[in-house]
Amino acid sequence: MDMTMMRLRREDPRVVGSFRLHRRLGAGGMGVVYLGSDRKGQRVALKVIRPDLAEDQEFRSRFAREVSAARRIRGGCTARLVAADLEAERPWFATQYVPGPSLHDKVAEEGPLTAAEVAAVGAALSEGLVAVHEAGVVHRDLKPSNILLSPKGPRIIDFGIAWATGASTLTHVGTAVGSPGFLAPEQVRGAAVTPATDVFALGATLSYAATGDSPFGHGSSEVMLYRVVHEEAHLRGVPDALAPLVRACLAKDPEERPSTLQLSLRLKEIAARETQHPGSTRGSGQREVIERPTGRLAEQYAEQATQQRPVTPAPRGRRRPEAAAP
């Protein structure tokens, strides 16, 4: 979703619920996101469903799921839900406004992040996904443009196709919903979606953050989906300190991927080491061996979880336009 602020258009509403709208923040497949404020001046990102979709009960249900997911998730990993009206002629909901660029825009404008920054962002996102999954939600469309880099840390946004664990599938069998290049193989095949699906997407996202490119290259949707299922990810340019863990996230078999808790712990270790000794594992010609087990073998290590907060990278480079959560 494009998060560049734009003036309101003639057809845009000026008031929705108790919120006055000021600018367009972007438009996506489901609707338009506006910058708004309440009577106290609190800024919100307010998403209004498209008029044509408002008449479609399937899309209304999908929108309701997004609101339901936002209500269940606790913690600072997402934008807090402020208000919603699912029965309105055009359903809408408002979330806390999150200032900051998307991960996609930051990398596109300033280049790849350092190993320490990638690890720090990844640790925070992994910890955030723990909260998402504990709420019984699978995001299903995690990607760089759905991650905002706020001053308080990264925030995961756009739960428009999120899937409640245990609920019936949201798509027809064999139909993939999400973004090619960040979809997991099981999504492409129309198989069961689990928290491991988000781990795959996080691995692809971290690869992008480190290199500025998708680990599955470029091409049509069909080509990208084929590569996701049948070809190994290309991690050239991913720092040696991160490559083994990213590769584990991108395992074709969901059972072989690390859990979000394991990722959070491991990435915190890498972030701390790379901050103290930048590039200490680069140029050796050999990949660092993962010192912690992943996938099904990591249950004991997961029990060693600490209460450390994730390290977040300090902002650098020129100031960028603000963005908001839909």
Q: State how far the Cα of 144 lies from the Cα of 85, in Å rounded to an integer.
A: 29
* Contacts for 57 with CB less than 8 Å, ≥ 6 apart: none
Note whether 118 and 242 are within 8 A (CB): yes
98-115: burial string, b at 16+ Cβ within 10 Å, e else: bebbbbbbbbeeeebbbb
* Contacts for 282 with CB less than 8 Å, ≥ 6 apart: 115, 239, 240, 241
Among candidate residues 149, 164, 192, the one with its CA nearest the CA of residue 316: 149
Among candidate residues 226, 210, 218, the one with its CA nearest the CA of residue 176: 226
Residue showing tokens 């010609």: 285
* Contacts for 99 with CB less than 8 Å, ≥ 6 apart: 150, 151, 322, 323, 324
**SS3 of 150, please?**
strand
- Residues labelled catalytic: 141
Q: State how far the Cα of 253 lies from the Cα of 10, in Å rounded to an integer.
A: 49
Q: State how far the Cα of 138 lies from the Cα of 132, in Å rounded to an integer.
A: 7
Q: State how far the Cα of 270 lies from the Cα of 242, in Å rounded to an integer.
A: 8
* 25: enclosing H helix or E strand: strand 19-27
